[in-house]
Amino acid sequence: MAFIDGLAARFGFTVFAVLLGTFFFNLYRVRSHVRSLQKQGLPMPPHSFLFGHLKFVASIVQEMPPNAHGVYIADQIRQRFPEMNTAFYLDIWPVGKPYLMAIHPDLLYQLTQANQLPKDPGLQTFLKPLAGRQNLVTMEGSAWKYWRSIFNPGFSASHISSLVPGMVEKIEIFKKKMQEHANTGEMFFLEEMALNLTIDIIGGAVMDHDFQSQSKYNDMTSALRNQLKWSTTGIEINLLLKLNIFRPFVNMYNTWRMDRYLNPLFDNRYTTFQEKGTSPRKSVIDLALKAYLAENPSAQSIPDAFKQVAIAQIKLFIFAGHDTTSSAVIFTYDLLYKHPTILARVRAEHTAVLGPNIPNASALLTSKPHLLNHLPYTVAVIKEAFRIYPTVAALRIGQPDFSLVAPSGQRFPTENCIVLGDHYGVHHNPSVWADAESFLPERWLVDETHALYPPKNAWRPFEKGPRNCIGMELAMTEIKIILALTVRAFGIGDAYAEFDGSGRKGMKVNGMRTYMVRGTGGGHPADGYPCRVVLEGREEVEG
Ligand code: HEM
């Protein structure tokens, strides 16, 4: 017994010594690499050999609200070191690999447009429980090309236009709910309602299916949302969050719930497809089936391997298509209602294009979706809101012998780094944008000679280049319709003052209480956006 105890102790000690040795070896390796970059004169905040930039980042995080999104960090550093306005390194090992944070459009152009660096494999940590290993966001090379070309027709302008009536129907339900809140006058959380709306819209676009989550409980959307709540990016500092032993079980259960809902839908669609020989539909599910059957005309069934990838893609589209769009709608509302002159101009444009009778606008857009192309000021507002609140970023993995080059000629090697194409950092960079912190939709309407004219490649909420967002047009159309059907009918005011207690709860980021919080991928409005709604445009509503 004593012999076995001794053996176990020796084994335990050896494992501990190996782990400790590996830790210090990696610490030395990473810190030496970052130090060598520093010695070459490359920009970074003050670096400690023991802590890297961890203490420095922690000091920034501490000054922000506890749940503020990570997209703010690069901008906060630029504010402290104004000369670091193109790119800089950040060594956060062992929480994650060192980062090269790029906050200048020329560098992002090199990252995603002129070159194709692979996606950061860390994205899998977040996306795998949601959409498996094989999904359009994380795929590379020929597999990505194959699937992107299958889905592109589902996001063409003409197809999106055909989706408008379905979107209008769902927005009508949303309006009814807004009206109920206006009638009670009580404070409520807009995010929950907006998420239900956008997930219903995406269900229509991606699957030609109505989840009806705005009206009743839906197990698929509930499982997806729960999966998101349990998601992790893998770079949490909080070890309890990082190593939560329950996560894999919750993930498996939610995956089972989603598959239980989606599998029969997929099978039914396949049966219809077989019966009719083809499908005129262009939803993601139909496009996947069409592609398979075009390549395998004599197939009697869909192989499991193909079905699994197709369903993973569907889950990805439902996630990517609703989460970001809901946040964008709320941030746009927030900026609009805080700028009454801009709001008045948007309302005037809607009246001019859709007529003064507000309830008529839904039927009008259903029969004439092209009217959406006549709302330039509304589009300018949406673009400017995306500039102020870009909710996503581009993560790529650095490569040996690949550097990003600043306009000054300074070269930023990417090897051994995650490269963050930081949309928030670019959009708020005062060396790039005139009056970067102000909400100025007119910058999207002035000509090239004007000081406010947007610099080339500087607006990138949907990224640019071949891996840009496939759903950009869909999201823009959706937001346009939501605004066109609601901003004249309602007045929305945030209720943060009422919601906030004392202490940190009421903290702001860059002076804004409506800041982006982390949690489920992209930035979300803080605290679910507590607000109140009032009815406006009453004469027109009744008229
Ligand atoms: C406010 C709305 C949205 C924002 C801000 C947004 C943002 C982005 C960004 C920045 C990327 C590129 C990420 C990278 O380069 O690593 C991306 C990719 C993607 N987005 Fe979106 N997105 C939005 C809406 C949508 C919608 C509505 C859909 C689908 C219905 C969608 C599906 C996708 C997919 C599938 C990709 C991967 C494309 C590829 O790699 O080929 N997104 N999105």
Q: Is 117 in the pocket of ligand 1 (CB under 6 A)?
A: no
Specify binding-site residues: 469
CA 540 to ligand 1 center in whole angstroms = 37
Buried b (16+ CB within 10 A) or exposed e, 357-370: bbeebbebbeeebe
| Ligand 1 atom with least separation from CA of 151 | 35
CB-based contacts of 349, cutoff 8 Å, min separation 6: 375, 376, 377, 378
Specify binding-site residues for heme: 469
Identity of residue 539: E
Q: How many residues does the chain have?
A: 543
Q: Is 314 in the pocket of ligand 1 (CB under 6 A)?
A: no
Give, using CA atoms, the residue closest to atom 41 of ligand 1.
Answer: 467
- Please report the sign of the dihedral spanned by the C-alpha atoms of residue 296, residue 302, residue 306, residue 312: positive
pLDDT the model gives residue 328:
98
Tell me if 165 sits within 8 A of 201, measured CB to CB.
Answer: no
Closest CA to 230 of 211, 213, 254: 254
Closest CA to 417 of 22, 36, 24: 36
User: Which residues on neighbouring strands pair with residue 516, listed in sequence order?
Assistant: 525
Which segments within 159-291 are labelled E, that is strand? 188-189
Tell me the CA distances in angstroms from 40 to 30, 34, 83, 376, 500, one per residue in order: 16, 10, 17, 48, 47
Q: Is 136 in the pocket of ligand 1 (CB under 6 A)?
A: yes
CA 463 to ligand 1 center in whole angstroms = 8
CB-based contacts of 278, cutoff 8 Å, min separation 6: 290
- Please report the sign of the dihedral spanned by the C-alpha atoms of residue 247, residue 252, residue 255, residue 260: negative
pLDDT the model gives residue 271:
87
pLDDT tens by residue, 48-66:
999 999 999 999 999 999 8
CA 100 to ligand 1 center in whole angstroms = 22
Task: Give the separation between CA 479 and CA 329, rounded to whole angstroms.
Answer: 6
CA 15 to ligand 1 center in whole angstroms = 43
CB-based contacts of 487, cutoff 8 Å, min separation 6: 333, 336, 343, 346, 347, 350
CA 319 to ligand 1 center in whole angstroms = 10
Tell me if 211 sits within 8 A of 326, measured CB to CB.
Answer: no
Domain boundaries, the chain: 42-542
CA 274 to ligand 1 center in whole angstroms = 31
Domain 42-542 has CATH 3.40.50.720: no
Closest CA to 382 of 340, 342, 341, 431: 342
Task: Give the separation between CA 99 and CA 96, rounded to whole angstroms.
Answer: 8
Q: Is 328 in the pocket of ligand 1 (CB under 6 A)?
A: yes
Tell me if 75 sits within 8 A of 425, measured CB to CB.
Answer: yes
User: Which residues on neighbouring strands pair with residue 421, listed in sequence order?
Assistant: 102, 394
Identity of residue 248: P
Give how far the C-alpha of residue 31 lies from the chain's centroid of Cα atoms, to the nearest Å. Answer: 32
Best of 469, 481, 482 to mutate for ligand 1, by most ligand atoms within 8 A of CB?
469
In this structure, the number of other CB atoms found within 10 A of the CB of residue 334 comes to 24
Residues of the chain with pLDDT under 70: 1-4, 234-242, 502-506, 519-520, 538-543
- Identify whether 94 is preceded by a cis peptide bond (ω within 30 of 0): yes
pLDDT tens by residue, 123-166:
888 888 888 888 899 999 999 999 999 999 999 999 999 999 99
Q: Which helix (H) or strand (E) holds 494?
A: strand 490-494
Task: Give the separation between CA 360 and CA 354, rounded to whole angstroms.
Answer: 8
Which segments within 140-297 are labelled E, that is strand? 188-189
Give, using CA atoms, the residue closest to atom 3 of ligand 1.
Answer: 324
* Side-chain-facing half-sphere of 449: CA atoms under 13 Å: 0
3-state DSSP percent of the chain in helix, strand and coil, to 5:
55, 10, 35
Tell me if 275 sits within 8 A of 269, measured CB to CB.
Answer: no
Tell me if 515 sits within 8 A of 526, measured CB to CB.
Answer: yes
Give, using CA atoms, the residue closest to atom 27 of ligand 1.
Answer: 321
Give, using CA atoms, the residue closest to atom 30 of ligand 1.
Answer: 321
Taking each helix axis from N to C end, the angle separating 284-295 and 304-337, rounded to the nearest 10 degrees, works out to 150
Q: Which helix (H) or strand (E) holds 89?
A: strand 87-90
Two tokens at 229?
């709540």
pLDDT the model gives residue 13:
79
pLDDT the model gives residue 539:
44
| Ligand 1 atom with least separation from CA of 423 | 10
Question: In which region does residue 409 sit, left (phi positive, over 0), alpha (psi from -120 to 50) or beta (all else)?
Answer: left
Task: Give the separation between CA 515 and CA 424, rounded to whole angstroms.
Answer: 12
Q: What is the DSSP letter of 454?
A: P
Tell me if 424 sits within 8 A of 48, measured CB to CB.
Answer: no
Residue in the block written with tokens 């994205």: 123
Q: Is 469 in the pocket of ligand 1 (CB under 6 A)?
A: yes
CA 323 to ligand 1 center in whole angstroms = 10
In this structure, the number of other CB atoms found within 10 A of the CB of residue 67 comes to 15
Q: Which helix (H) or strand (E) holds 524?
A: strand 524-525
pLDDT the model gives residue 234:
63
User: Is ipTM beyond 0.95?
Assistant: yes
- How wide is the angle at C-alpha 465 spanned by C-alphas 202 and 455, nearest 5°? 105
Task: Give the separation between CA 131 and CA 317, rounded to whole angstroms.
Answer: 9
**R_g over Cα of the chain:** 25
Closest CA to 211 of 195, 226, 228, 229: 195
Tell me if 36 sits within 8 A of 387, measured CB to CB.
Answer: no
